[in-house]
Amino acid sequence: MSTARLAFTGLHRQALLTCALLGLIGAALGGYLTVLKFRMAYTPCLGPHGGCQIGEMRCEDALGAAWSVVGGLPISTWGSAAYVCVIVLAVGQLARRGFLAGCAASLLWTLSLAIACISLVYAVYAFAILQSPCPFCLSLDGVALLLVAAAATVRRLTDPREQFRLGVALRHRRASLIDAGFRLGMLLTIATGVQSLAYHGMRHTVSVRDGCPERAESSPIAPIRVGPADAPVVLAAYLDMSCSACKRKFKQLAQALRNGQFPRPVQLWIYHAPRHACDPAAFPAGFARSDDRARDDNACLAARAAECMEKLQPGAGFRLIGGLFALHDDRQAGQPLFTAERVGNRAVDLGMEIDPDDPDNPLFRCIDHDRGVLADITAHQRHAEQLDLMVPAIAVHAAKDGAIDPDRPPYWLFANTPFDDLAMYVELQAAPPAPPK
């Protein structure tokens, strides 16, 4: 064999090895995303919650989106199965000439293009619609692009005597192409089916309470409450008003309360959990949940404003929270999300009779000087820190005589927990407790 031919064959083998390696990486990343999705769905307290985060990019929004599930399975399971097919196509060509009746190179190229196109669609969805790209998903996008380049190289270097181009196969080798496509389809089905059995089968070995705080003993006072005082269920919502996921969860709760969507009466309690210490003296060792973005957006100012509004005008604190969350839609570049001016103007919009230009108006005096309000918010922050919560978090408690029943542990929900699950937990907590065994 000539030197040129040996080099040609060596490049071909390297391209196939690269495809196999990229397939292995893609399958591994897809499997890891499936594990994260499983935790979010069936063990929410053991979900990612920052463990899948690089800078401002996080996995939770992408994994909780409607498009993250196709055919009852996470999209990552389909991706892992496709990458398994890539591995088989690449290794098969390395092991045997004329693999899959000479159609393997064409199928590898076609499958790689399909993976890349689907990855591109999901990348656009994450950036343009969710505005929250997932770092591991972006890694898969990179793998898909590299795979297209490697598959193109395989296709270009493949000996036409051993492998047929797709056009040739369609014209002259249809039976071989159909047979190869059927085998590849069966492999895709088996790989997906195995993951489906594991994904849905494992749900019976775990509990939604795994990893969750079992009790919320000595819960602090929550002055802002909405709903009937004698409701059989209390929803304790831990929120940071500078958090966009908190905004979405609050909107979901507010709409459900307004439209009567809960299966049983509930009372919503608001716990403030800004991600920086509102009273630094109360946390001499530092605040575990500190976040520079929350501090720069004056999250504590928003929390104090809501509590002061409730104190000065009972029932108005909840409405002010909704109004302050609405400021996310009118964010001013280079400015904190919450300022005294913006908070004051929003309070006036909601019917509070103050002059936002007067620094000595009742609302501002309360925000600046009321130590009781600050103590309440600090108690909320301590409580959230003790429970090791990431915002937004919602505890679904059984209630007894207008208070949390300490004998029944809560169910926990987080940013992307579907409303149907919340409604199910409300129904469970509203039911009479099971008799002791």
Structure tokens at 162: 């051993």
Q: Is residue 218 part of a domain?
A: no
Answer yes or no: do 20 and 162 share one domain. yes
C-beta separation of 269 from 237 below 8 A: yes
Q: Is 242 exposed, middle or buried (0-12, 13-18, 19+ CB in 10 A)?
A: buried
Domain-located, residue 217:
no
Confidence of residue 49 (pLDDT cuts 50, 70, 90): low
Please provide the DSSP assignment of 215-242 as one string. Answer: --TTPPP---EES-TT-SEEEEEEE-TT
Is the residue at 328 inside a domain?
A: yes
309's CB contacts (< 8 A; 6+ apart) are 316, 317, 320, 347, 350, 352, 363
Q: What angle do CA 406, 380, 218 make, to 5 degrees?
A: 25
CATH at residue 29 = 1.20.1440.130
Name beta bridge partners: 418.
none
Nearest Cα to Cα of residue 341 among 321, 318, 313, 361: 361
- Note the pLDDT of residue 186: 95
Whether the model clears a pTM of 0.85, i.e. scores above it, the answer is: no
Q: What are phi and psi of 263, to 5 degrees?
A: -70, -25
Percent of the chain residues topping a pLDDT of 90: 54
Domain holding 27, by residue range, is 3-205
Beta bridge partners of 270: 237
Q: What is the mean pLDDT of residues 267-271?
A: 97
CB-based contact 92:104 (threshold 8 Å): yes
Does 351 lie in the same domain as 314? Answer: yes
- Any idea what DSSP says for residue 131? -
Q: Is residue 219 part of a domain?
A: no
> Does residue 71 register a pLDDT over 60?
yes
Residue 110 located in a structural domain: yes
**CA end-to-end span of the chain:** 80
pLDDT surpassing 70 at residue 143: yes
What is the helix (H) or strand (E) element at residue 403, kind and residue range? strand 403-404
Q: How far apart are CA 50 and CA 56, in angstroms?
A: 10
Domain assignment present for 86:
yes
Sign (positive or negative) of CA dihedral 167, 168, 174, 179 = negative
Q: Is pLDDT at 244 greater than 60 in this prediction?
A: yes
In the chain, how many domains are there?
2
The CA distances from residue 390 to 133, 151, 239, 340, 415, in Å, are 19, 42, 9, 27, 9
DSSP secondary structure letter of residue 332: P
Q: What percent of the chain clears pLDDT 70, i.e. is strictly above it?
A: 90
Residue 409 to residue 213: CA distance in whole angstroms: 8
**Same-domain pairing of 165 and 86:** yes
User: Is residue 390 located within the same domain as residue 258?
Assistant: yes
Answer yes or no: is 321 within a domain.
yes
pLDDT tens across 159-195, in order?
665 555 555 555 556 677 777 889 999 999 999 999 9
Q: What is the CATH number of the domain that holds 267?
A: 3.40.30.10
Answer yes or no: is pLDDT of 77 > 90. Answer: yes
CA–CA separation, 81 vs 37, rounded Å? 16
Whether 332 and 407 share a structural domain:
yes
Q: How many residues does the chain have?
A: 437
Instruction: Please say whether the beta carbons of 208 and 47 come within 8 A.
Output: no
Q: Which of 205, 240, 275 is the last residue of a domain?
A: 205
Q: How confident is the model at residue 204 (pLDDT cuts 50, 70, 90)?
A: confident
Same domain, 382 and 420: yes
Indicate whether 282 belongs to any domain: yes
Task: State the average pLDDT for the chain.
Answer: 87
Task: Verify that 200 and 250 share a domain, yes or no.
Answer: no
Q: What is the pLDDT of residues 89-102, one digit of tens each?
A: 999 999 988 788 77
Q: How many CB atoms lie within 10 A of CB 426?
A: 23
Are 183 and 233 members of one domain?
A: no
Q: Say whether the peptide bond before residue 392 is cis (omega within 30 degrees of 0).
A: yes
Rounded Cα–Cα distance for residues 252 and 220 (Å): 24
Least confident window among 79-88, 97-106, 111-120: 97-106
